[in-house]
Structure 1
Amino acid sequence: MLRTRPLSSRRVTASLLALMTSAAVAGPALAQTATPPVAAPAAAAPAAPCGGDLAAFLSGVKTEAVAKGIPAEVVDRALAGAVIDEKVLGRDRAQGVFKQTFAEFSNRTVSKARLDIGAKKMKEYASVFARAEQEYGVPAPVITAFWAMETDFGAVQGNFNTRNALVTLAHDCRRPEMFRPQLIAAIEMVQHGDLDPATTTGAWAGEIGQVQMLPEDIIAQGVDGDGDGHVNLKESAPDAILTAAKFIKSLGYTAGQPWIQEVSLPENLPWEKTGLQPGMTAGQWFALGVKPRDGNTQFGDLAASVVIPQGRKGVAFMTYPNFNIYLEWNQSFIYTTSAAYFATRLAGAPAYEARNPEAGLNDEAMKVLQTKLDAIGHDVGKIDGILGSGTRAALQREQLRLGIPADGWATQAVLDALP
């Protein structure tokens, strides 16, 4: 879980990187940029020290850690043998892009095998999940879906030395303001006996354990679920489950409320209102003809959005306030929607109805679309062939102007209609 507090980043998990590497999809796709985290800037904060001679840099880290109350001998032990990991820098510079539709990505990640294993895990650790829900209000399916999506239930946790990864990223002057505090937190974990600087491994950006958390979050939200006196997210499933539950609660999860719900849509829906934007309640959507597939309309008073990952002819979901915790966990729209859908499947929902979405645009056609939108005067950001939030918003405005259903889905017909 590549993130800081407050919310800062898009992130790439080990399992997501594996999908990007082994399952690149050509042709029409809803693309998301798989970027490393970008820390939220602190107002008037001094620049974090970075770069230069590594020994001098580590000396500065030691001074800061000691000033925070960590014994000097602990800092020395934590930093002894630290080196720059060029492979970490390579990952950080990769700026990888995966281009898969929601259907493609969700079908790969929400597999029968994962659903079966998830069901077994929820049964095996039933008492731990019961405690998680009792103490933090987070149900087992929500936690289990993240557990599966992040590391395949602990099977793929990353093999980068965590201490070296954080030293590398803190020393590098690209985003030291994010990673230097994580390095200090890792040293604190050494003090607690929860991290071995020589042997603890994880993802390339310093995330640790079965639910992939950064050191600051582990210190703030870690729970000793098995009672051994330590928070061991790598090897202890109870620790991972309860820590994830506490963290999810801290992101604003409300017990007893839904997070996402499959819906069917009428042909005359005001499509320009769709997307992750505020202003509507579920009841107002129901009044417009939106129908939950499961028939449950009891949460009509809650704020809600209708999201259509592949346009109005594809699958549709209604998202509720609890969906925001998915966006906090990972800002990739495909990942978050897939994770939320995964949780509903673990809770007993059927597979979604894929329907028959219109074909999207390939990379080059998407760049042409973005160029046209930019020429009209819309801010779509970088012309990169990616149907991101800026391009979708601009596209909806143009669709509305042209009298085309404003669902934000880029098709050849929309491209041809633009001047």
Structure 2
Amino acid sequence: MRQLLCTLALTCLAQTGLADTSCGGNFSSFVSDLKTEAISNGIEPATADAFFDGIRQDPAVLAADRKQGVFQIPFVDFARRLISEDRLRRGRANAQKYDAVFDRVETDYGVDRGVLLAFWAFETDYGAFQGDFNTADALVTLAHDCRRPELFRPQALAAVTLFAQGGFDPRRTTGAWAGEIGMVQMLPRDILENGVDGDGDGVVSLKTSAPDALLSGAKMLQDLGWRAGEPWLAEVTMPSDFDWSQTGLETTKPVSEWLSLGVKPRNGPLADGLTGSVLLPQGKDGPAFLAYPNFRVYFDWNQSFTYVMTAAYFATRLQGAQVFDAGAPRTGLDGTQMKALQTKLEARGHDVGGIDGILGAATRAAVRAEQTRLGLTVDGWPTPELLSQL
């Protein structure tokens, strides 16, 4: 199951360009260059030697990086797969068990407990499955690979710094294939910047201490721009005659304006005074949500639209929201069809973020543009009809 739930925390994308992003070539030479850079950054040569001695390229990491088909599953099916009564029950039990910790999360960082519980559940099933990839090998392997060196080279160097500080063992520290560590899966740079000793034992241990992991995750969300005490997502119902072109992350309006347009809440009143965007993860005939500003912070944790929607929704369930109304979405595209669609969209000049068969935010924006051009319903949900017309 951990293979299916592996996600990539992209919290350092805003920091790209801070380190050399050279990649590829002979692996041993690459490791030598990385060691030289670590020493130039102030790491003692003996420490750098100890970290990099024994580093190996891990083909299983590259295979996992290329195989993320779980994110091709539509939102309704994805949410049903990840959210079970057992997960809800254990989430509520953990909320009680760590009530004092969550009080600190909410007081110190302004993050609702449901948000951290949802990440904890999805990332590691409440700490049960934290990954068994060697973290140092994974980070250096991905830094060497030329798909995203701007992300992973700084993280590999951050792991060296953690090692120098005594908070990382390059031979024994394990985690997810993408280098995340601990119960809520944080990358080394995030641990350096946002690690919190939540249990007061003098060390930050995200693998074995729930207080450390939860408070560190909350601090990271705050650092990413989480707005204290504000909601993040609410399910809504839509009028049948709505102008669907107004939906999507590209359009933001005051909540009062959405209400005036006939948007109605399903779980208590909407947060008047805030702004939001109406999101239709499976088009106008599927579920509908109002995403508040905090929702966008989720994309700094993970860039998969489906994962973000599901994590944000699960957080509302843990806070007491009812099961969403799935509606009757129109037939979508399978993975092969989605890749064909992305290829056609790219040929028309749209940036879809790569041909991966995943309906991410960039592909949705391109779909909406083509729906507008072709006179179709502009709801961001790609159908066989759209593929045929393209």
Give the TM-score normalised by structure 1: 0.83
> Which residue in 1 is equivalent to 2:264?
291
Alpha-carbon shift at residue 350 of structure 1 (Å): 1.1
Match for residue 355 of structure 1 among 315, 324, 327: 327
Q: Distance in 2 between matches of 1:349 and 1:383?
A: 35
Does 1:18 pair with 2:4? yes
Alpha-carbon spacing, 1:197–1:414, altered in 2? closer, same or farther (3 Å) = closer
Alpha-carbon spacing, 1:72–1:368, altered in 2? closer, same or farther (3 Å) = closer
Match for residue 26 of structure 2 among 52, 57, 78: 52
Alpha-carbon spacing, 1:291–1:313, altered in 2? closer, same or farther (3 Å) = same
Q: Distance in 1 between matches of 2:336 and 2:45?
A: 56
> Which residue in 1 is equivalent to 2:182?
209
Alpha-carbon shift at residue 400 of structure 1 (Å): 3.8
Match for residue 169 of structure 1 among 138, 142, 167: 142
Q: Distance in 2 between matches of 1:309 and 1:290?
A: 16
Match for residue 131 of structure 2 among 129, 134, 158: 158
> Which residue in 2 is equivalent to 1:310?
282
Match for residue 91 of structure 1 among 40, 52, 64: 64
Alpha-carbon spacing, 1:121–1:74, altered in 2? closer, same or farther (3 Å) = same
- Count of matched residue pairs: 388
> Which residue in 1 is equivalent to 2:158?
185
Unaligned runs of at least 5 residues, structure 2:
none
Alpha-carbon spacing, 1:390–1:66, altered in 2? closer, same or farther (3 Å) = closer
Where 1:304 maps in the other structure, the secondary structure is strand
- Deviates most, 390-399 or 224-233: 390-399
Alpha-carbon spacing, 1:368–1:180, altered in 2? closer, same or farther (3 Å) = closer
Match for residue 247 of structure 1 among 210, 216, 220: 220
> Which residue in 1 is equivalent to 2:250?
277
The amino acid across from 1:287 in the alignment is: S
Where 1:358 maps in the other structure, the secondary structure is coil
The amino acid across from 1:290 in the alignment is: V
Percent of aligned pairs with the same residue?
A: 50
Alpha-carbon spacing, 1:354–1:219, altered in 2? closer, same or farther (3 Å) = same
Match for residue 96 of structure 2 among 107, 117, 123: 123
Q: How does 1:310-329 map to 2 (within 5 A)?
A: 310-329=282-301
Does 1:219 pair with 2:192? yes
Contact 2:305 2:359 in 1 (8 A): no
Alpha-carbon spacing, 1:119–1:75, altered in 2? closer, same or farther (3 Å) = same
Contact 2:72 2:335 in 1 (8 A): no
The amino acid across from 1:120 in the alignment is: A
Does 1:379 pair with 2:344? no
Q: Distance in 1 between matches of 2:26 and 2:165?
A: 30
The amino acid across from 1:317 in the alignment is: F
Q: Distance in 2 between matches of 1:240 and 1:305?
A: 31
Alpha-carbon spacing, 1:36–1:121, altered in 2? closer, same or farther (3 Å) = closer
Q: Distance in 2 between matches of 1:310 and 1:114?
A: 24
- Deviates most, 106-115 or 365-374: 365-374
Alpha-carbon shift at residue 248 of structure 1 (Å): 0.7
> Which residue in 1 is equivalent to 2:80?
107
Q: Distance in 1 between matches of 2:19 and 2:157?
A: 17
Alpha-carbon shift at residue 279 of structure 1 (Å): 3.5
- Over residues 220-239 of structure 1, what are the superposed CA-to-partner deviations in whole Å (9 max), with x where a residue is unaligned? 00001111111111111110
Alpha-carbon shift at residue 287 of structure 1 (Å): 0.6
Where 2:290 maps in the other structure, the secondary structure is strand
Alpha-carbon shift at residue 159 of structure 1 (Å): 0.6
Contact 2:244 2:377 in 1 (8 A): yes
The amino acid across from 1:68 in the alignment is: N
Q: Distance in 1 between matches of 2:30 and 2:367?
A: 47
RMSD: 2.9
Match for residue 312 of structure 2 among 330, 340, 348: 340
Alpha-carbon spacing, 1:210–1:86, altered in 2? closer, same or farther (3 Å) = same
